[in-house]
Amino acid sequence: MDLKALSVKLFKKILKKPSKKQILITAGGGVLIILLSAALFFFLRSGKGEKSGDTGRETDKVQVNKIDYDNMLLLKPFTWVSLKENSHMQKVSMRMVLELTSRDKVSIVEKKRDKIRAVVRGTAREMKWISLRGSEGKIEFKYALINKINRMFPEIVVRNLYFTHFIMR
């Protein structure tokens, strides 16, 4: 056989109506190639963006979640402060950190540490252990302290209050 006759025979086979099996194999191969190229494009592109720093999204997240520890003020521990009388548990021991609105306020608040400690003790004497044992009671106690401490100053000074230790007996 010569080459011309072989090519004519192959061309006639190709022009013949393809079977369903051939169509499914061809379509599946095409879909597979498209999916692989899309995945390859996606991974190569995302890798370049992180390395070059083109996307500002990651840096924005870091700046939003940045914590400034210079405006935090740790108070001395309160050891066994009395709670409201006729309670099952009568004392509470706690440590707390005040988050202030700015670094400038730290020196102002440090001058009134003794008054703040008196406010904490007085507010604790108003609370019953039954309310402080649950999270709602602790949150109520926290916001009562924030409000009373902020009333000591002409402007809002305390942004938040964190209990780092809280035990009742």
Rounded Cα distance, 38 and 130, in Å: 60
CA 143 to chain centre: 22
pLDDT one-digit tens code per residue, 3-29: 778 777 777 777 777 778 878 888 888
Rounded Cα distance, 164 and 37, in Å: 52
Cut 0.75: pTM above it: no
The size of the chain, in residues, is: 169
CA distances from 110 to 18, 71, 77, 122, 133 (A): 88, 12, 15, 19, 30
If you average pLDDT over every residue of the chain, what do you get? 81
Show me where the domains of the chain are located: 3-63, 69-168
pLDDT one-digit tens code per residue, 97-116: 999 988 888 888 899 999 99
Percent of the chain predicted with pLDDT > 70? 84
Residue where the block lists tokens 């004519």 = 8
| Domain 69-168, CATH | 3.30.479.30
Give yes or no for a contact between 96 and 161, defined as CB atoms under 8 angstroms apart.
Answer: yes
